[in-house]
Amino acid sequence: MKKITLTLSAAALALGIGGAGVAMADHHGGKGKADANGDGVVSLEEMKARSAERFARMDANSDGVLNADDRTAKRAERFAAADTNNDGELSEAEMTAAREARDAKREERRAQRRAMRAEKRFTRLDTDNSGGVSQAEMDAAKEAREARRGERRGGDRAARGGRRGGDRTMRMMRRADTNNDQAVSRAEFDAAIEARFARLDADGSGTITAEEREAARDARRAQRQERRGSR
């Protein structure tokens, strides 16, 4: 079971559904962003293109399937990168250097995410694009959040009740693995991405707007809070 869990977790990372998800990526344009053309919305084509990049990175042996073999290949790659003198062993100094490099990259990613979140939050609040946020804009944003929470509590409580507990990422990966072979093929991967896009595209417009992304984030927060409260 442990091997199976690791296999599906690898695929979960590629799908990006363990956290914010591909469609939850920064909606500004630019390299590595879901919204490639920077128009403020994410189309299915953009989402699948970004997902394909992640799949390719995770498919370490390039066999078109995410499974335990990819994790083995990744471990070998990490070992080779850390073994700077190529002697087949890691010295204490090499292990320390590798750990420090990972920590530095992790902190850099965190700083980037914090900066992006702050920028997006400011943009949402500054509804008149004046370059500043007034008290009225802050009050309006608070009222909108409270209204969304009220709607979810009224309409989604019963639906969420049956899905409490367990690991959300693993549940989604098991759904993606439709033939139950403990691996996720490219076809299964693409089908899961399309299904996720359809869920996020609440108005069926064919694109995912910043508002729909925010609503999905709020829904996840509410689900987490409800699960914590039920323990």
Q: What is the DSSP string of 136-147?
A: HHHHHHHHHHHH
Cβ atoms < 10 Å from Cβ of 147: 10
Any residues with CB less than 8 A from the CB of 105 and at least 6 apart, and which? Answer: none
What integer is the mean pLDDT of 124-143?
Answer: 88
pTM, whole model, 2 decimals?
Answer: 0.51
**Contact (CB, 8 A) for 28 and 35:** yes
For residue 5, is pLDDT > 50?
no
Please tell me the least confidently modeled range out of 74-88, 123-137, 152-166, 179-193: 152-166
DSSP 129-180: -SSS--HHHHHHHHHHHHHHHHHHHHHHHHHHHTT-SS-HHHHHHHHH-TT-
Please tell me the least confidently modeled range out of 22-31, 65-74, 128-137: 22-31
pLDDT given for residue 169 in this prediction:
60
Rounded Cα distance between 155 and 127, Å, is 28
**Contact (CB, 8 A) for 212 and 43:** no
CA quadruple 174, 179, 185, 190: dihedral positive or negative? negative
pLDDT given for residue 219 in this prediction:
85
pLDDT given for residue 11 in this prediction:
53
Structure tokens at 152: 């979810």
Rounded Cα distance between 68 and 23, Å, is 26
Question: Higher pLDDT residue, 169 or 203?
Answer: 203
- Residue 153 confidence class, pLDDT cut points 50, 70, 90: low
pLDDT given for residue 103 in this prediction:
94
**Contact (CB, 8 A) for 13 and 169:** no
Average pLDDT value over all residues in the chain: 79
Query: What backbone torsions phi and psi does residue 165 show, to the nearest 5 degrees?
Result: 80, 170
pLDDT given for residue 155 in this prediction:
53
* Helix, strand, coil fractions of the chain, as percent rounded to 5: 65, 5, 30
For residue 97, is pLDDT > 90?
yes
The one-character DSSP state at 22 is G
